[in-house]
Structure 1
Amino acid sequence: MNCSADSSPIDVTDILARLRGLSAAEEFFAILGVSYDPKVLDVSRLHIMKRVGQYLAEEDLSGLPDQVIAARVRATLERAYEDFAISSPLSHRVFKVLKDHDPNKPATPGRTFVPFDAVLKRFEEE
C-alpha cells in the first residue's frame, strides 16, 4: 500500500511556520505532497525525521521565497525517505545510541567492556 499525495499543487504560504506546527511524520508527507509506503514509515519514522533535520541543518533557507523553501524541504524529505526505503535504520545509524554501539567501529581506548555474566561469576565464587 502506498500513501500518495494528490496531484494538486501544495500550498506554500508561510510553509516553514506551518511545518514547525506539525507533529506526525505523516503530516509532513501530506503537507509537502510526498508519497510514502506506510510500512517504511512505521519502521523508520524517527530515523527519517532525524535525517531530514540533519539535511536541513546544511541548508540556508533564510530570505528565500516560500515556493523555493517548500521545494527544498520537499526534496529533503524525499531524500531522507529514500535513505531508509532502500536500507535499514541500523545501516545509517543517525541516532547517538546506534552510533555508539556500532559493531564495525573499534572500541574506544580506555573503555573496557565487561560482560554482566563475568561480574556475576565473581560474586558467585565468593
Structure 2
Amino acid sequence: MNTLAPELEADLADLESAEDFLDYFRIAYDPAVVQVSRLHILQRAHDYLAARPAGTPLEFEDYRGALALAYNDFLKSDALTEKVFNVHRRAAGIATIPIGAIGRARH
C-alpha cells in the first residue's frame, strides 16, 4: 500500500466530483468528456496509482500525473474501448477467474 502525505490526504477528503479532482490538480478539461466518462477517468487514475510500487509515498505530482493520463485516455477514446470496469471486459469476452476456482470437474 502506498502512503499519502497528510496535507494531501486532508485536501482529497474534501473533493467530491471528477471536476473537483481535475480543478484541484489544475488539469484543463472538456466538461463534455468528463460528463460522459467521469467514473472511468477516476477509476483509471486509481489504477495508475495502484500500479506504483508498494510503499511509495504519493505526492501531489503523482496524483496529478495519474489523473492527467487517465483524462487523456478518455479524451482520445471511450469507455467501451478502454474497458476500465469488469462489465466492459466481460462484454468484450475478457474474463478473469480466481485461481481457486480452477480445478478438476467433480463427478
Give the structure-2-normalised TM-score.
Answer: 0.74
CA–CA distance in structure 2, aligned partners of residues 30 and 13 of structure 1: 20
Q: Show the counterpart of 2:77.
A: 87
Q: CA RMSD in A?
A: 2.5
1:62 Cα deviation from its structure 2 partner: 5.2
Note closer, same or farther for the CA distance 1:86–1:96 as it changes in structure 2 (3 Å cut). Answer: same
- How many pairs align? 91
Q: Show the counterpart of 1:45.
A: 38
1:60 Cα deviation from its structure 2 partner: 4.8
Gaps of 5+ in 1: 1-11, 108-126
Q: Share of identical aligned residues, percent?
A: 35
Q: Show the counterpart of 1:76.
A: 66
1:20 Cα deviation from its structure 2 partner: 3.1
Greater Rg over alpha carbons, structure: 1
Q: Show the counterpart of 1:15.
A: 8
CA–CA distance in structure 2, aligned partners of residues 91 and 30 of structure 1: 26
Note closer, same or farther for the CA distance 1:19–1:60 as it changes in structure 2 (3 Å cut). Answer: farther
Give the structure-1-normalised TM-score.
Answer: 0.63
Q: Show the counterpart of 1:25.
A: 18
Once the two structures are superposed, what CA deviation does each residue of 1:32-67 show, in whole Å capped at 9, x if it has no partner? 111100010011101000101111112258574xxx
Once the two structures are superposed, what CA deviation does each residue of 1:77-105 show, in whole Å capped at 9, x if it has no partner? 10000000001110011111111111xx3
Deviation beyond 2 Å, 4+ runs, structure 1: 59-64
CA–CA distance in structure 2, aligned partners of residues 70 and 32 of structure 1: 8
Note closer, same or farther for the CA distance 1:48–1:13 as it changes in structure 2 (3 Å cut). Answer: same
Note closer, same or farther for the CA distance 1:63–1:57 as it changes in structure 2 (3 Å cut). Answer: closer
CA–CA distance in structure 2, aligned partners of residues 57 and 30 of structure 1: 22
